[in-house]
Structure 1
Amino acid sequence: MQWILVIVLIAVVYFIFIKKKPQVKHNKKDTQANDMVGCQQCGIYCEVDDMILSNNKYYCSQECLKRS
């Protein structure tokens, strides 16, 4: 019984304090010029200034924008 309690306590501490949730930035005013964001289609990371913003989603090229 004590082992189960220890395991549950460790899991709670992990999920509350250690595990970080991914932050998604969808607003250009929240991002700076050198921030890196991922393309919604292919997943490649580029600087915000080099990305195409369409419907609050970032794309690395016109091809990825057309494929979505």
Structure 2
Amino acid sequence: FDEDSCRLRSGNAAENMAIMNKTALNMLKNEKTAKVGIKSKRLKAGWDEEYLMKVLTVGKLAV
């Protein structure tokens, strides 16, 4: 996620961003339909809204 160039130093911003990054990586790791690496999954989620919804809703039951 290119953390080195990010300037989050005030308050809890750095800790909050670290938690968000870990959560995003875990969601990408848990998504099993695309047999590619994490980097490719991130790009695909950025380009394809349907795939992004799959990543965000992985493990959720449809109601």
Considering fraction of residues, name the structure with more helix: 2
Higher relative contact order (CA 8 A, sep 6+): 2
Q: TM (normalized to structure 1)?
A: 0.24
Considering fraction of residues, name the structure with more strand: 1
- Give the number of the structure whose alpha-carbon radius of gyration is greater: 1
